[in-house]
């Protein structure tokens, strides 16, 4: 054991004497086609802190960005966990998985897909953190140069929880980890395998600027008086009526702020394939009914979800939508029945065509 | 003769592999390889250039912000937009907070374990550690009871038999030289720095909505509207007071913890001031404007080029002299030209490496996803050391004075900068320089708020109908790891082409068509390797560059036309 852990020789007896003690659950964190944004986000965790998570709650054995071991010693840690802790450890995955050529992402000479199959396939549960692991991320958007796909697609039939967002919010993932430690199971999930506690509500419904939307007070252009008074950002392209996430409640960085509080619209970054379904960033969401307290954003969000499903099913509609999507100007306004069309909330094969 | 392979080379951003040939206990040759490719520049083509920053910020998040900033600057350059003074200040504060936080994280969480033996801290006397700590600085968490608690944390971890992130480290390696008491001090500050990085980066939440991946950039300015009388304004008196508190926290941590620790650790490893010197050519694009991006004379970091370690002369930087080679990279150029200016760049990803799983790369052929950027065909090192060398050679204050005072303190000549420890020390001094400058920028912002000079965004060119049918621009930023360049071509309101060259592309790139080694490769040669199974010495020098591989692997794709030259200096 002392040799495996790389401890000095004298520590062997100590280790042997304490092996009987209760072991902490082992966690490994894979980084595949990633930007390390979800690793960095995890380091910002407040309750529990990253120190508590890594040193007290888990044995956080493999995580390339922060682990002491390198090269063959790092690979040795991962192989030990897969073989000795099979079926017991948690695997967290950050980043997408390329499929058109295994050479697009290799670690220790092994392909990302092989590593994901090995490590996720032997885990008790897998947590996909961030947009890339959840749905393929920005590199999956047209022309998807590497054939990037999500963890759930690359390795089917996992005990999987998706923590969407770009990046994931560490407050949610920390809560998920503690939930798993406390109850020995994962919390209730939605259709995209995301925990309801974090992804069960529309951003717009929880937004502190919602009263301005209901009253018809909007930012009309950047830096105008409305922007200084915290008016609603819907007309500046805010995707809050589309996004499901708890940003307005837990906020970011110890509750300091979130994008809307800092004056920029929400990008619906926790939504499935938001890169293709919620952007362009500054295009006003079309088809949202006129303001008024009698029409809730929850209803709007429901319509939009239906729009996504319809669009995914009917590529003809996707083409029609693409024809209507213009890189500038207003998309057509319409009632709820037209939300699937022209909303941008349908699967697109590529970025907006040039007008 | 043995071939060492370090893959994954951990405690960096991204996927780096280093292979090295060892003869007689010394590295005789080395190869640096980036092993991951995504192609985000291809993805942003045909999209709205006003949102390119949102996509390209996702190139990297260890140095989040930097690509967003370079991107909005590139588009603003193309559309000839000047940003308001308040936006310049907010951007300077965001970028400087990133730099300070990133440098601290690099030293403690990415680099320190190459020099600090965590296991040895168990043997320390906490009382002696407290004495050492108090002799070094006024940092409050320096009592013997505090160090005893840290030691208990380490002991509990070791006795559990589960070392977590410390599993399988090179503990006990003969190249570790710190006494147990200093190791305990460093472990304590490793934990303090984990708290610091989380708390300090609230500056980004206040100015950017969140970190990582801030969300307040706009082409033309920032979304952080300000108003002294509106509590709903993104920037108001309460927010500025929060910034003041956090900025002071950063100054204190850098001065009381980071700088003293770097000097203390360096004192035990003086031979590393003459090892890992690298290529000896240094390049900085310059940044942190006191006025406009078009007035380089008012940059806090000056632009320039220093060659062959000659700090008596600094030459101006001309971006048209940058080229990229793909002779040893997994790309092809259509016309077989050996090198292209980034404006003429072309990339066809063509993986010709071994089929995974593999043991060794074909290092005599193509072996990396990084291209090999060159300046007038010469290899250049970028980053904090390059910025200091350029500033020193240019006689720029306060950088030169700071270097001179530290050199006097450690009684060493300026040539010690050209080394592994020189890189680490330059990074720490730069954190101090920038942390001390931040109050000035905040003060300017406070003055403007008080005078009700509130403009945060220039919307004259927001509407794409106001744009020319085609235009192109160059935007850049001195990121924590060095000079970052973005090139954008806009046609009929959308992106026709986009290119990025990141600092790690320069530093970590492979050989070129002339066979010149990249900076990592050159710096490793002649390193002693005490134990080829545990190449700790190799990690020290590679980490001293602060690698960021996700940034470094970029796709460029142009139509083979020469763009008009853009002057950066």
Identify whether residues A160 and A213 lie together within a single domain.
Answer: no
In this predicted model, what pLDDT tens digit does every residue of B349-375 receive, in sequence order? 999 999 999 999 999 999 999 999 999
Nearest residue on chain B to A4, alpha-carbon basis? B168
Number of domains in chain B: 1
Which of A4, A70, A146 is nearest residue B39 as measured by Cβ atoms? A146
Q: Cβ contacts (< 8 Å) between B357 and chain A: which residues?
A: 109-111, 114
List helix spans (H) across chain A. Answer: 2-5, 12-18, 37-43, 50-52, 71-84, 112-121, 130-135, 151-154, 170-183, 196-199, 203-206, 210-214, 225-228, 247-250, 274-277, 297-313, 315-324
Q: What is the pLDDT of residue A341?
A: 30
C-beta atoms of A263 and B535 within 8 A = no
Determine, for residues B10 and A74 on separate chains, whether the beta-carbon distance falls below 8 Å. Answer: yes
Q: Pick the residue from chain B with its C-alpha nearest to A57.
A: B164
Task: Indicate left, alpha or beta for A207 from its phi (over 0: left) and psi (-120 to 50: alpha).
Answer: beta
Q: What is the pTM of this model?
A: 0.91
Suggest the residue from A16, A101, A106 to mutate for an interface test with chain B (most B CBs closer than 10 A).
A106
Chain A residues with CB under 8 Å of B205 CB are 251-254, 256-257, 262
Q: Taking CA atoms, what residue in B is nearest to A209?
A: B232
Residues A192 and A278 in one domain: no
Q: Which string of b and e fits B46-82 if b means at least 16 CB within 10 Å?
A: bbbbbbbbbbbbbbbbbbbbbbbbbbbbbbbbbbebe
Tell me what the mean pLDDT of segment A100-105 comes to.
98
User: Structurally, how many domains does chain A consist of?
Assistant: 2
Chain B positions touching A279 (Cβ under 8 A) are 51, 54
Q: Is pLDDT above 60 for B496? A: yes
Instruction: Identify the band that residue A289 occupies on the pLDDT scale cut at 50, 70 and 90.
Output: low
Domain for residue A349, yes or no? no
Q: Are residues A172 and A47 in the same domain?
A: yes
| Residues B114-136 as b or e (16 or more Cβ within 10 Å = b) | bbbbbbbbbebbbebbbebbeeb
Domain of B212 in residue numbering reads as 82-269+419-459
* pLDDT-above-90 percentage for chain A: 74
Q: Is the pLDDT of residue A108 over 50?
A: yes
* The 3-state secondary structure of B139-174, one letter per residue: CCCCCHHHHHHHHHHHHHHHHCCCCHHHCCCCCCCC
Mark yes or no for CB contact A252/B62 under 8 Å.
Answer: no
Burial string for B409-444 (b: 16+ CB within 10 Å, else e) reads eeeeebebbbbbbbbbbbbbbbbbbbbbbbeebbeb
| Residues B477-489: tens digit of each pLDDT | 999 999 999 999 9
Q: Å from B172 to nearest chain A CA?
A: 6
Q: B223 to chain A: nearest residue by CA?
A: A263
What is the ipTM, given to two decimal places? Answer: 0.96
- The Cα of A210 is separated from the nearest Cα of chain B by a number of Å equal to 13
B376 inside domain: no
Contact B48 A65 (CB under 8 A): no
Q: Domain for residue A206, yes or no? A: yes
CATH of the domain at B426: 1.10.645.10
Q: Which residues of B touch A6 (CB under 8 A)?
A: 163, 167-171
Domain assignment of residue A348, yes or no: no
Nearest to B462 by CA among A261, A207, A219: A219
Q: Which residues of A touch B218 (CB under 8 A)?
A: 222, 264
Choosing from A170, A198, A226, the residue where a domain stops is A198
pLDDT-derived band at B338, boundaries 50, 70, 90: confident
pLDDT in tens, B110-150: 999 999 999 999 999 999 999 999 999 999 999 999 999 99
Out of B157, B168, B550, the one facing A36 most closely (by C-beta) is B550
What's the pLDDT at A15?
45
> Which residues in chain B touch residue A165, judged by CB atoms under 8 angstroms apart?
none
Q: Do A18 and B35 touch (CB under 8 A)?
A: no
Q: Are residues A208 and A263 in the same domain?
A: yes
Average pLDDT over residues A125-147: 97
Chain B residues within an 8 Å CB radius of A26? 162
Residue A245: give the domain boundaries.
201-338
Task: For residues A160 and A218, state if they share a domain.
Answer: no
Has residue B18 been placed in a domain? Answer: no
B180 contacts in A (CB within 8 Å)?
none
The mean per-residue pLDDT over the stretch B193-211 comes to 98
* Any domain includes A38: yes
Question: What confidence category does residue B395 fall into, taking pLDDT thresholds of 50, 70 and 90?
Answer: very high
How many other C-beta atoms lie within 10 A of the C-beta of residue B159?
16
Same domain, A213 and A305: yes
């Amino acid at each position: 054991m002392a040799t495996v852990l790389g401890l000095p020789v004298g520590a062997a007896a100590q280790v042997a004497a304490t092996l009987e003690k209760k072991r902490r659950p082992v966690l490994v964190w894979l980084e595949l086609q990633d930007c390390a944004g979800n690793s960095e986000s995890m380091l910002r965790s407040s309750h529990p802190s990253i120190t508590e998570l890594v040193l007290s709650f888990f044995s956080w054995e493999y995580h390339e960005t922060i682990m002491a071991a390198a090269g063959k010693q790092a690979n040795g840690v991962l192989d030990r966990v897969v073989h000795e802790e099979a079926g017991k450890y948690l695997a967290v995955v950050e980043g997408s998985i390329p499929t058109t050529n295994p050479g697009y992402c290799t670690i220790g000479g092994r392909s990302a897909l092989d590593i994901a199959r090995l490590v996720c396939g032997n885990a008790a549960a897998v947590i996909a953190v961030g947009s890339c692991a959840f749905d393929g991320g920005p590199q999956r958007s047209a022309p998807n140069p590497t054939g990037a796909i999500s963890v759930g697609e690359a390795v089917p039939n996992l005990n999987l929880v998706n923590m969407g967002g770009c990046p994931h919010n560490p407050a949610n993932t920390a809560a998920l980890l503690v939930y798993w430690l406390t109850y020995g199971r994962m919390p209730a999930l939605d259709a995209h395998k995301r925990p309801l506690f974090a992804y069960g509500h529309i951003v717009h419904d929880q937004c502190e600027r919602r009263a301005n939307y209901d009253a018809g007070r909007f930012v009309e252009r950047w830096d105008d008086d409305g922007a200084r008074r915290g008016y609603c950002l819907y007309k500046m392209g805010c995707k809050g009526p589309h996004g499901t996430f708890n940003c307005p409640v837990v906020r970011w960085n110890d509750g300091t702020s979130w994008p809307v509080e800092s004056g920029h619209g929400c990008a619906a970054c926790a939504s499935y394939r938001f890169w293709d379904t919620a952007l362009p960033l500054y295009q006003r969401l079309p088809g949202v009914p006129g303001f008024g307290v009698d029409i809730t954003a929850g209803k709007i969000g429901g319509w939009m979800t239906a729009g996504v499903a319809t669009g995914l099913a009917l590529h003809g509609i996707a083409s029609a939508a693409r024809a209507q999507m213009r890189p500038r100007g207003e998309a057509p306004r319409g009632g709820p029945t037209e939300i699937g069309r022209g909303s941008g909330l349908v699967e697109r094969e590529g970025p907006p065509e040039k007008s | 003769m043995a071939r060492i392979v370090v893959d994954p080379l951990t405690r960096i951003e991204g996927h780096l592999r280093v292979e090295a040939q060892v003869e007689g206990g010394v590295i005789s040759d080395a190869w640096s390889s980036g092993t991951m490719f995504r192609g985000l520049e291809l993805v942003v083509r045909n999209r709205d250039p006003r949102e390119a920053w949102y996509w390209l910020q996702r190139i990297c998040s260890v140095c989040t912000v930097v690509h967003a900033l370079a991107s909005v600057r590139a588009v603003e350059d193309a559309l000839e937009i000047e940003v308001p003074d308040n936006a310049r200040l907010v951007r300077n504060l965001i970028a400087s907070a990133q730099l300070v936080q990133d440098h601290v994280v690099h030293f403690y969480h990415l680099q320190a374990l190459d020099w600090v033996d965590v296991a040895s801290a168990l043997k320390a006397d906490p009382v002696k550690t407290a004495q050492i700590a108090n002799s070094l600085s006024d940092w409050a968490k320096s009592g013997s009871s505090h160090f005893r608690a840290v030691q208990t944390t380490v002991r509990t971890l070791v006795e559990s038999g589960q070392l977590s992130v410390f599993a399988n480290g090179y503990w006990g390696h003969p190249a570790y030289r710190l006494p147990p008491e200093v190791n305990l001090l460093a472990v304590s500050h490793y934990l303090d720095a984990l708290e610091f990085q989380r708390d300090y980066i609230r500056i980004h939440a206040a100015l950017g909505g969140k970190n990582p991946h801030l969300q307040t950039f706009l082409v033309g300015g920032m979304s952080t509207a300000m108003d002294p009388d509106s509590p709903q304004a993104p920037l108001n008196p309460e927010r500025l007071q929060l910034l003041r508190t956090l900025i002071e926290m950063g100054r204190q941590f850098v001065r009381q913890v980071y700088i003293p620790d770097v000097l203390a650790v360096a004192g035990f490893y003086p031979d590393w001031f003459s090892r890992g010197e690298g290529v000896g050519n240094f390049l900085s694009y310059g940044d942190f404007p006191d006025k406009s991006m078009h007035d380089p004379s008012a940059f806090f970091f000056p632009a320039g080029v220093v060659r062959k370690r000659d700090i008596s002369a600094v030459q101006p930087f001309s971006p048209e002299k940058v080229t990229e080679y793909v002779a040893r990279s997994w790309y092809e150029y259509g016309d077989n030209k050996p090198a292209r200016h980034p404006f003429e760049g072309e990339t066809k990803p063509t993986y010709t490496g071994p089929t995974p799983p593999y043991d060794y790369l074909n290092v005599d052929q193509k072996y990396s996803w990084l291209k090999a950027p060159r300046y007038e065909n010469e290899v250049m090192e970028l980053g904090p050391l390059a910025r200091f060398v350029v500033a020193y050679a240019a006689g720029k204050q306060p950088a030169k004075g700071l270097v001179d005072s530290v050199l006097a303190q450690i009684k060493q000549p300026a040539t010690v900068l050209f080394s592994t420890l020189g890189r680490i020390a330059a990074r720490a001094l730069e954190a101090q320089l920038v942390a001390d400058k931040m109050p000035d920028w905040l003060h300017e912002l406070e003055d403007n708020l008080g005078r009700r000079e509130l403009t945060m965004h220039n919307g004259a060119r927001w509407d794409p109908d106001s744009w020319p049918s085609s235009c192109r621009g160059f935007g850049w930023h001195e990121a924590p790891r060095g000079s970052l360049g973005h090139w954008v071509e806009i046609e009929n309101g959308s992106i026709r082409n986009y290119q990025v060259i990141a600092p790690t592309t320069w530093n970590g790139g492979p050989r070129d068509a002339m066979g010149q080694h990249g900076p990592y490769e050159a710096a490793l040669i002649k390193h002693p390797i005490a134990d080829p199974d545990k190449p700790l010495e190799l990690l020290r020098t590679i980490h001293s560059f602060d690698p960021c591989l996700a940034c470094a692997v970029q796709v460029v794709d142009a139509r083979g036309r020469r763009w008009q030259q853009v002057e950066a200096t």
